[in-house]
Amino acid sequence: MDNLPDSLALEILSRLDDSASVACCRMASNTFNSAFPGLKFINLQWQLKWYLESRSRVSSSSSSSRFTPSLKRVFLNLVSNLSALESVRIGVENPPLDVMNADVEDDGDDLHITDEGFVKEWLPRVSEALKLLSLSDFWVQSSRRRSEVLSLISAHCQNLIELELKNAWLSGQNMNAMPMLTSLTLELIRLDDKNLTEFNTSFPNLQVLNLIDVRGLKMPMIHLLNLKTCHWIVTDSPSYICIITPNLITLRLECRSPAALYIEAPLCYNLHLAVDHLNAFAVKNLRI
């Protein structure tokens, strides 16, 4: 194995699904370890059982920093050895929603990966080549801490094409425009941009948009001229929902009955509309 050419070793590492598998190869072979700095991705997924097992080994009087796994240290060690990252995925497995608060509530922040202090430690040095960024936070720790990570990402990642953010409370203020971004997913997000005003300005060239359980919206309007595919699950009860997307082809909208729904999508031919409490709902304007 140690006689493999570096280029072949790097190709093998590049075909692995996650950073844990990469770490195993590095431990097994000096050739893989030597090829590692050329890797262009990190995919670090933290399992809930690691957190729970570590938590169970300490007394309830111990500080959370002692029993929370050191995801941040592991990641920072990985990223310090990679110079040309194109894809970064960090995720923490969350417990089921019905047991989240009862079983794993704590005040620690070691798994709070949208914390801007943590992101500032590594994002600026890898942002130039970065094309994909996915952060799936630990809701137990992130739900009570508003993050400015969107502002930070928009300031540094001007070449980013795809962005995924999950399980976090995000500020929508002080964002720069990201004209290269074409795909955005926000899932289980509390967003401080109640009308999506900053959102529309910051992501003008989106083609794919997934808003799954994004809360904090009052009168949201999606006004994106280049959008082609949109999946929007609205779990709040906004009084008004507006979608103005002249190039939209596919729309999947699931919502509770708003007072008014305005959709202007003249090219849309694939529409799925699911509205709760339909008896109290009337379509005021539908242009497709």
What is the tens place of the pLDDT at every residue in 67-106?
444 889 889 988 988 878 999 999 999 887 665 555 455 6
Q: Which residues contact 217 (CB under 8 A, 6 or more apart)?
A: 191, 194, 195, 196, 234, 236, 238
Per-residue model confidence (pLDDT) at position 64: 47
C-alpha distance across the termini of the chain, in Å: 59
Residue 278's CB is within 10 A of a number of other CB atoms, namely: 9
Alpha carbon distance 223, 275 (integer Å): 21
For the cut 90, the answer to whether the pLDDT of residue 256 exceeds it is no
| Greatest Cα-to-Cα distance within the chain, rounded to the nearest angstrom | 71
How many degrees, rounded to 5, is the angle at CA 282 between CA 280 and CA 248?
125
More confident residue, 236 or 223: 223
Is residue 262 pLDDT above 70, yes or no?
yes
| Residue 268 structure tokens | 């849309």
What Rg value do the Cα atoms of the chain yield, rounded? 21
Instruction: Check: CB of residue 251 under 8 Å from CB of residue 263.
Output: yes
Alpha carbon 107 to its chain centroid, in Å, reads 22
Q: What was the pLDDT predicted at 36? A: 78
Question: In whole angstroms, what is the distance from residue 163 CA to residue 199 CA?
Answer: 13
- Domain-wise residue ranges, the chain: 1-37, 40-192, 209-288
Angle at 109 between CA 108 and CA 115, to 5 degrees: 160
Give the CA-trace dihedral at 98, 104, 107, 111, to 10 degrees: -100
| Other Cβ atoms within 10 Å of 125 Cβ, number | 13
> Mean pLDDT across the stretch 237-265?
90
Q: Which of 1-10, 56-65, 141-150 has the lowest mean pLDDT?
A: 56-65
Calculate what percentage of the chain has a pLDDT beyond 70: 86
Contacts of 225 (CB under 8 A, 6+ apart): 204, 245, 246, 247
By the 8 A CB rule, do 213 and 188 touch?
yes
Euclidean distance between CA atoms 73 and 68, whole angstroms: 12
Mean pLDDT, residues 57-66 = 50
Find the mean pLDDT for residues 237-241.
86
Instruction: Provide the token pair at 94.
Output: 């969350």
Position 142 pLDDT exceeds 90: yes
Q: Which two tokens stand for residue 127?
A: 């942002």
Question: What pLDDT score was predicted for residue 100?
Answer: 55
What is the DSSP-derived secondary structure letter of residue 286? E
What residues form DSSP beta bridges with 250?
A: 229, 270
Placement of tokens 């339909």 in the chain: 278
CA-CA-CA-CA dihedral for 201, 164, 249, 254, to nearest 10: -100
